[in-house]
Structure 1
Amino acid sequence: MPLFSFNTSADYLDAAREMADTGRPTLARLLAEAAAELTPDPDQVARILGEFPGAVLPQED
């Protein structure tokens, strides 16, 4: 099994797409949210989150 390194938004997006392709939409959404947090451009954030629809998970305070 390959080891994954998540250093950039693109790393999280690649993993999110893989999870979506294998029928794991909740995990895909979590990874997309992590990618969005690393993305400074609000338009790109909207595009990322739009690509992985689903419920926004609650944030812990």
Structure 2
Amino acid sequence: MSRNFHRASEFLDAAREMADSGRPTLARLLAEESAARTPDSQDRARLLSEFPGQSLKRED
């Protein structure tokens, strides 16, 4: 089953699922995408604090 992600909350839900299933790297990437779609900087920081680690996103 494929899933489409459009909202920050959908990325965050998927990040939590990945963390629960033992996939911390994928969880962090999904959390970073959720944070990128979150307008409030305090909410972004809180969200990323749930998924420790350095940024894994590549900048072009």
**CA 1:58 to 1:7, structure 2 compared with 1: closer, same or farther past 3 Å?**
closer
CA distance in 1, matches of 2:12, 2:30: 7
Structure 2: unaligned runs, 5 residues or longer: none
Once the two structures are overlaid, the 10-residue window that deviates more, 50-59 or 16-25, is: 50-59
Contact 2:29–2:57 (Cα < 8 Å) also in 1: no
Structure 1: unaligned runs, 5 residues or longer: none
TM-superposition CA deviations, 1:28-49 (whole Å, max 9, x none): 0000000000001000000110
Q: Counterpart of 2:15?
A: 16
With the length of structure 2 as denominator, give the TM-score of the two structures.
0.91
Q: Alignment length, in residue pairs?
A: 60
Amino acid at match of 2:12: L
Offset at 1:55? 2.1
Q: Counterpart of 1:32?
A: 31
What is the identity percentage for the equivalent residue pairs of Structure 1 and Structure 2? 58
With the length of structure 1 as denominator, give the TM-score of the two structures.
0.90
